[in-house]
Amino acid sequence: MATQSLKTVHLVTRAETLKALYFDWQTQLARPNLVFIDGAGTVVFETNEIGLKGEPVDERRKLVVVWGDSVVFGAWRGWACLLDTYAPGYQFLNGGIEGDPYDNILRRARRLNRERPVVLNVLMPGWHPFEPYPVATPAGPAPKSWWRRGQSAASEPGRFRAQLTSFIRDVPNAVLLTMPTSLNPAIADRDLSGYFTAGDDDTMFHFCGTVPYTVALQRQHFDFINQRNEIVRDVAVAAQVPLIDLFAVFDTTGLADCRQDFVDIMHFRVHAYPRIAAAIHRGIAGLLAM
């Protein structure tokens, strides 16, 4: 049965305050046993007793964790929990953390796998660290960059490949995901600022958080995501682990509107969540025991 724990309740007033409440900067982990509600008292999302986004751990079901950054974390309850309906004997928990670099994603996954049995680790390495612009920290904006740990930008792809390969070797039952984007080769060099709109989840579209928009930076992001996805595909083939190509599933090439499923160049609209869950289930169905 699911373990019952006392929870701390937070009222959500602004989306940008969420991480400050759920993320422990010292441990680099999500804080456990939190509930976030809106002004109407509706649960926006919760973290469970092991610090993952989702309901309490149900020991009657086999555990699957989807690891990643904000693309996995998602809005509201996210999309990982939608996989529960496809496989009643399994519990799918959300291991996403907003802005998390791949090395911490891999560290968190390793840590949980040492502590408890996880039958599948579905891993999206994420967009980070790719931050050639200031990012927020508890102390305020700081000039962190993706070579901030003494690494050069040129060495980053090799470091990423090595760490991902090591993770696949050390952590059992891994499934790799490529990272989707609303960009495609036909528009990567076009000025898309005319497409930026305010509004709700169904209407807004912007570039990349609060990052100032330039076409050059847009192209840099597109080249980066293609490079990282190429490495993910290569590692999956070399290690003979399953790969689910979300980049291909959500390819916007040929669409009338690249914004169809995205609120920016990397994050999904909520209405796309069932489609994500369906694509991932197709990729892992053969790995789930009947």
pLDDT for position 14: 63
If one counts every other C-beta atom within 10 angstroms of the C-beta of residue 230, the result is: 13
Domain ranges of the chain: 59-287
What residues contact 199, with CB distance under 8 A and at least 6 apart?
A: none
Q: Locate tokens 């490529």: which residue? A: 178
Q: What are the pLDDT digits (tens) for 193-243?
A: 999 999 888 899 999 877 889 999 999 999 999 999 999 999 999 999 999
Average pLDDT in the 269-273 region?
97
Q: What are the pLDDT digits (tens) for 97-128?
A: 998 999 999 999 999 999 999 999 999 998 87
Does residue 149 carry a pLDDT above 90?
no
CA nearest to 74, candidates 272, 285, 278? 272
- pLDDT class of 140 with cuts at 50, 70, 90: very low
Which stretch, 32-41, 182-191, 202-211, has highest mean pLDDT? 182-191
pLDDT for position 139: 47
- pLDDT class of 137 with cuts at 50, 70, 90: very low
Beta-sheet strand order (sheet of 34-37): 8-11, 34-37, 43-47
- Which segments of 60-138 are extended strands (E)? 62-68, 90-96, 120-123, 135-137
pLDDT for position 131: 46
pLDDT for position 38: 82
Distance between CA atoms of residues 21 and 247, nearest Å:
31
Q: What are the pLDDT digits (tens) for 158-184?
A: 899 999 999 999 997 999 999 999 999
pLDDT for position 151: 47
Does residue 277 carry a pLDDT above 90?
yes
CATH topology of domain 59-287: Rossmann fold (3.40.50)
